[in-house]
Amino acid sequence: MQSFTYFNPTRVHMGAGVISKLSEELTAHGIQRVLLVFGRGSIRRNGVYAEVLTQLSNAGVEVVEHGGVQGNPVLSHARSGVALAKEARVDAICGVGGGSVIDEAKAIAAGAASNSDVWDFFSGNASPNQVLPLFTVCTLPATGSEMNGICVLTNEETQEKNALVKPGVLNPTVSFLDPHSTMTLSPVQTAYACTDILSHVMEAYFTAQTEWLPLQDNLMAGVCRATISAMDGILKKPDDYDARATFMWAATMAWSGIVQAGVPGTSMPCHALEMPMSAVYDMAHGAGLSVVIPAWIAQATEGHARRIRSFFKTVFDVDVPGMTDAARILRAYYQRIGSPVTFAGAGVSNPDVAQLVLLAAASFAQRGMTDYTTERIQNIYEACLQ
């Protein structure tokens, strides 16, 4: 097992009605003025916005609104959030929505506590050492952002989509996870979420640097089996509370670093390949993953293939003789739940592969992953065309 340090300062309230604890948490933290960050309308439609406003009012907190966060959040909107937070002198950020809202809220929490331009944190020119306290109400379980120290932002001028990783610093202070708030997610949004949850675990499981880790492998397989079974439950009955709750906590488990701790060589190549896809074509992150992961698997090296075989046996209970078999089975699963497996299926009929290769190659180079040559990257993207 690889040595590691694990620290996660986020307090999580999970279950039906937990948003009602927001006011006492704000009071306990001495918060007086918040920037309320949210997206493009889903929280108004499902009643979460009204619930949160009641809590803010109960806590006697002044509210400055910063709505309109888009999926795959962009730098210009985060910058305006930082300016607003500074101008209004808020003492906390409250992010209410999915991963995009929570990620932008994190970027604002970091930018508002610093004199650096917020993109400097994402380009590696600066590192946030302190952030404003962040309270999140998660309405889309997928990214794990509600309990991790990561946020992802797209610079729409350069089309770079970069992750800022600062565990222990960027983690929300308190997160509220009410499965009821996820029941308005459509089947396809839930399918994208499922793809993302599974990918966070699979990318670690597929490491080429170990044979078998008794604890981590069982944890990872358990999270995936529970996610798959909860997804089936949700497809049958979208308001199945237990299925929604299992799905929600599985998302948090999958990408808060717990199941991956101690696993060597977790380099997330499929995420590196997906980021340019959702940056250039604004596709859902989960949709991009279900397109690119099978293509990556079909071309996996023998080191990864050993672990891929073991994953398919443990999670899907199938023997996969070759990697094309594994890719075929995974594509069939994604199609069954409603996530696309080609660029065209994701709404991009004629992608600019050369541009995607350039962006992905720069990202692999930045991570020091020199085995991802431009030729290898191009072959994977081309396999996503059909």
| Residue ranges in contact with ligand NZQ by CB under 6 A | 39-42, 46, 71-72, 97-101, 103, 139-140, 142-145, 148, 150-152, 181-182, 184-185, 189, 196, 255, 271, 278, 285-286
> Is 92 in a helix, a strand, or coil?
strand
d(CA 316, CA 329): 9
**Residue 104 sits in the site that holds Zn ion (CB under 5 A):** no
Residue closer to ligand NZQ by CB (options 320, 346) is: 346
Residue closer to ligand NZQ by CB (options 166, 309) is: 166
Min dist. Cβ of residue 325 to ligand NZQ (A): 26
- Please give the single-letter amino acid code of residue 269: P
Position of minimal CB gap to ligand NZQ: 39
Hey, what's the torsion of the CAs at 110, 112, 117, 121, to 10 degrees?
A: 0
List, as one string, the DSSP characters of 256-267. Answer: SSTTTTT-S---
93 is in the binding site of which of Zn ion, ligand NZQ, none (Cβ under 5 to 8 A by kind)?
A: none
Alpha helices in 112-236 (DSSP H): 118-123, 187-205, 214-236
Both tokens of 58, joined, read: 């109960």
150 is in the binding site of which of Zn ion, ligand NZQ, none (Cβ under 5 to 8 A by kind)?
A: ligand NZQ
Min dist. Cβ of residue 17 to ligand NZQ (A): 16
Min dist. Cβ of residue 327 to ligand NZQ (A): 21
Q: Phi, psi at residue 38, to the nearest 5°?
A: -150, 175
71 is in the binding site of which of ligand NZQ, Zn ion, none (Cβ under 5 to 8 A by kind)?
A: ligand NZQ
Min dist. Cβ of residue 297 to Zn ion (A): 16
Residue closer to ligand NZQ by CB (options 32, 241) is: 241
99 is in the binding site of which of ligand NZQ, Zn ion, none (Cβ under 5 to 8 A by kind)?
A: ligand NZQ
Residue closer to ligand NZQ by CB (options 182, 260) is: 182
Q: Please check whether residue 363 is in contact with residue 152, taking contact to mean a CB–CB distance below 8 angstroms.
A: no
Residue closer to ligand NZQ by CB (options 48, 326) is: 48
**Residue 160 sits in the site that holds Zn ion (CB under 5 A):** no
Min dist. Cβ of residue 214 to Zn ion (A): 26
Residue closer to Zn ion by CB (options 25, 196) is: 196
Residue among 102, 98, 85 at smallest CA distance from 33: 85
d(CA 62, CA 73): 25
Determine which helix (DSSP H) or strand (DSSP E) holds 163, and give its type and residue range.
Answer: strand 160-165
Residue closer to ligand NZQ by CB (options 289, 320) is: 289
Determine which helix (DSSP H) or strand (DSSP E) holds 151, and give its type and residue range.
Answer: strand 150-155
Q: Please check whether residue 131 is in contact with residue 167, taking contact to mean a CB–CB distance below 8 angstroms.
A: no
With helix as H, strand as E and coil as C, how does 290-313 read?
Answer: HHHHHHHHHCCCHHHHHHHHHHHH
81 is in the binding site of which of Zn ion, ligand NZQ, none (Cβ under 5 to 8 A by kind)?
A: none
* Binding positions for Zn ion, 166-205, rule CB under 5 A: 196
151 is in the binding site of which of ligand NZQ, Zn ion, none (Cβ under 5 to 8 A by kind)?
A: ligand NZQ
Determine which helix (DSSP H) or strand (DSSP E) holds 65, and give its type and residue range.
Answer: strand 62-66
Q: Phi, psi at residue 12, to the nearest 5°?
A: -115, 130
42 is in the binding site of which of ligand NZQ, Zn ion, none (Cβ under 5 to 8 A by kind)?
A: ligand NZQ
The residue count for binding Zn ion (CB under 5 A) is 1
Position of minimal CB gap to Zn ion: 196
Both tokens of 111, joined, read: 């930018």
Which residue has tokens 């839930």? 190
Residue closer to ligand NZQ by CB (options 176, 309) is: 176
User: Which residues lie across from 95 on neighbouring strands?
Assistant: 37, 136
Min dist. Cβ of residue 143 to Zn ion (A): 6
User: Which residues lie across from 136 on neighbouring strands?
Assistant: 95, 175
Residue among 324, 333, 283 at smallest CA distance from 305: 324
Residue closer to Zn ion by CB (options 104, 196) is: 196
Q: Which residues bind Zn ion (CB under 5 A)?
A: 196
